[in-house]
């Protein structure tokens, strides 16, 4: 798979700083939301493969205290396996990586940043996408994290 250079935006540093000030469960929610936004890039090519949906749901279930962290982590591994299986379809593979990191955020909070980055890489590698699409996605990620932090009840 071709390595993709991520378009740098003015929000990259701000997102990282905000992530560093955000509680663990809010980061899992945010990471799952980021991954869910690009899920369609995978499902278009692999409509019968539900590993990404299961990984995202595992992260959400962990937030609700309905799933052990170790089970969320296992779901992350299956999403990463889906990424390897989809390596010929770049945007699908990146969407799968995003879902894997979203679920893995239950294990280690710093995975949230990677869920967001891989979501942006999926957008960037979609046919017809532009740098503007990447900037819009990063803007959404930043604003969404701010909104989630306001709504935090943990």
List, for residues 82-127, the tens digit of each pLDDT value: 999 999 999 999 999 999 999 999 999 999 999 999 999 999 999 8
Give the model's confidence band at 3: pLDDT under 50 very low, under 70 low, under 90 confident, else very high: very low
Question: What CA–CA distance (Å, rounded) separates 44 from 38?
Answer: 11
pLDDT value, residue 9: 66
pLDDT at 1 over 70: no
| Segment 15-29 mean pLDDT | 94
With 0-12 / 13-18 / 19 or more C-beta atoms within 10 angstroms meaning exposed / middle / buried, residue 135 is: middle
Split into its structural domains, the chain has a count of: 1
6 assigned to some structural domain: no
The label of the residue with tokens 């250079």 reads 5
What whole-number distance in Å separates Cα of residue 72 and Cα of residue 64?
Answer: 12
Q: How far apart are CA 117 and CA 145, in angstroms?
A: 14
pLDDT at residue 6 is higher than 70: no
How far is CA 154 from each of CA 16, 57, 149, 150, rounded to the nearest angstrom?
21, 19, 10, 11
Segment 58-91, tens digit of pLDDT: 999 999 999 999 999 999 999 999 999 999 999 9
Contact status, residue 138 vs residue 15, Cβ threshold 8 Å: yes
Residue 2 lies in a domain: no
Supply the range of the domain harboring residue 39.
11-151
Cβ pair 21, 148 in contact under 8 A: no
Whether the per-residue pLDDT at 20 is higher than 80: the answer is: yes
End-to-end Cα distance, the chain? 40
């Amino acid at each position: 798979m071709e390595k993709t250079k991520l378009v740098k935006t003015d929000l990259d540093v701000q997102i990282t700083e905000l992530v560093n000030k955000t509680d663990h469960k809010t980061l899992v929610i945010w990471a799952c939301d980021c991954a869910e936004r690009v899920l369609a890039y995978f499902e278009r090519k692999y409509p019968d493969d539900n590993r990404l949906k299961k990984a995202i749901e595992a992260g959400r279930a962990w937030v609700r205290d309905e799933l052990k962290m170790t089970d969320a982590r296992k779901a992350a591994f299956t999403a990463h396996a889906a990424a390897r299986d989809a390596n010929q379809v770049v945007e699908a593979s990146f969407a799968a990586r995003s879902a894997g990191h979203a679920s893995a955020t239950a294990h280690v909070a710093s995975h949230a940043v990677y869920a967001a980055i891989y979501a942006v890489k999926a957008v960037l590698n979609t046919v017809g996408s532009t740098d503007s699409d990447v900037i819009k996605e990063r803007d959404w990620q930043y604003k969404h994290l701010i909104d989630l932090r306001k709504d935090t009840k943990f």
